[in-house]
Amino acid sequence: MSKLTIAQLDLAKRRVFVRADLNAPLDHGTVTDDTRVRAVVPTIQYALKAGASIVLASHLGRPKGKVAPEFSLRPIGERLDSLLDQHVELAPDCVGAETTERARALSPGQVLLLENLRFHPEEEANDDGFARALAALAECYVNDAFAAAHRAHASIAAITKHLQPAAAGLLMQQELAALGRILESPEKPLVAILGGAKVSDKLTLVEHLLDRVDALLIGGGMAFTFLSALGHAVGRSLVEGEQLETARRTLDAARRRGVALVLPVDAVVADGLESAQGRAVGIREIPAGQMGLDIGPRTVERFTKALSGARTIVWNGPMGVFERPPFAAGTLALARAVAGSPAFTVIGGGDTVAAVTQAGVAERIGYISTAGGAFLEFLEGRTLPGVEALTDAA
C-alpha cells in the first residue's frame, strides 16, 4: 500500500488520535451489534502495546450537529471496557478545555474516548478550525475508520493538515488490501454479484466492474429494471422507468466486452411485502398484480453454476427482501454457495453481512468489509477522502 501504516510509526510515549467507526446500533443504551467496535480493537491493542496513549474518536448516528443524549458514545465506551479489559474514560465533549486537559494528562496505556463528533456541525462541514482543535489533542494520527473514509469530514480529512504523520490503522490496511486485490490484481475468473433495490444506486459500480469482471450476476429489486429493459412483463415488481435505457446500454456493453451478465430466470412472487408466503414462477409468468420479492430456486442454481470455477468473488446486496422469512431463501442459498466456493470471497454492505451471518457461513467468507458506502465507492474507482488524506509511504 502506498500510504503510511501504523506499523511504521514510533508510538512509544505518544498520544495517538485514532479515528474509528464505532457507529454501532443501540437499543435503550445497549449495544446490540458490536461488530464495528470489535473491528478496531486490534489497532487499539497494537498502539497500547507499543507504549502509546489513545484519544479515540467516532461519530454515532445522525444527531444533526446538536447534543442528543441518545447518541452519546457512553454505551460504546462501556462495551470497549469489556473488550479491552480496561477502563475507557469518556470525555465530556470531543473538543474544549476540559477534553484537552484530559487528553494531555493521559499516561501510556490509557484510552480516552471522545464524545460524539457529530454533536458539532463543524465535523460534517470539514471545518478547519474544528479540525485544528481535534488535532491539538494528540501527537500523531491513525485512521481506522474505512467505513467512513468516503466522507470528507473534519476528523477524517481536514485534521491531517494539522496532525502528522497520518497513518492507516490495521483495519484500514485490511480493507484496502482486500478491495485493492479485487481491483488491481484479482485472480481470474472474477465474478461480481450485485443485489439490492435500485439500479440507480449502483450504476457507476456496474459500469466500473464491466471492465474488470468475467461475469456479473444481478439479483434483488434492481434485476427487474434489467428484465423490463429486455421486454419482460414483471407485474408490480420494482422497476426504475427512468433507468430502462441505461439498463439496455449496460446489457449491450456487457455483450461487447464478453462479460456474462446473468439475470434471474424465476422469482418468488407475492401480493406484497407483508404476504405470509410467496411462490416461485418463471420470469415470463409473473402475474400482473404481484411483485417479485426474491430469486427463485432455478435462479439459485443458475447463479451457483456461474460461480463454479471463479477464483475471486465480490458480493454486495441481497437477492430479495431477505429480512422477511418468506423471501429469504434465495439470498441465504446464495450466501451458502459463495461460502462454499474455493475462490477468494469478499462481501460488503450491512444487508449482505447480515445475510451471510444469518446463513451461518460468515466464518467461511474470505473477507467481510465493515463498510457500506465506502465499499461501493472504492469499487467504483473513486478516490476516498479518508484514504487520500493519509501520509504517503516513503
Active site residues: 36, 198, 350, 373
CA pair distance 140, 155, nearest whole angstrom: 13
Residue carrying the nine cell digits 485512521? 143
C-beta neighbour count of 258 within 10 angstroms: 7
Conformation bin of residue 316: beta by default, left when phi > 0, alpha when psi is -120 to 50: beta
Return d(Cα 196, Cα 222) in angstroms, integer: 6
Proportion of the chain in helix, strand, coil states, percent, rounded to 5: 40, 15, 40
φ and ψ at 56, to 5 degrees? -100, 130
CB-based contacts of 247, cutoff 8 Å, min separation 6? 199, 225, 226, 228, 229
Backbone angles phi, psi at 311, to 5 degrees: -105, -20
CA–chain centroid gap for 227, Å, is 28
H or E stretch covering 192: strand 190-194
Neighbours of 252 (CB within 10 A): 10
Report residue 350 CA to chain centroid gap.
7
CA distance between the termini of the chain: 11
Q: Find cell 456461474 and name the residue.
A: 306
Give the separation between CA 22 and CA 385, rounded to whole angstroms: 19
Task: Please tell me the distance from the alpha carbon of residue 236 to that of residue 270, in angstroms, as a whole number.
Answer: 10
How far is residue 369's CA from residue 348's CA, in Å, rounded to a whole number? Answer: 5
Residue 358's DSSP bridge partners are none
- What single string gives the DSSP state of each residue in 109-153? T-EEEPP-GGGSHHHHTT-HHHHHHHHTT-SEEEE--GGGTTS--
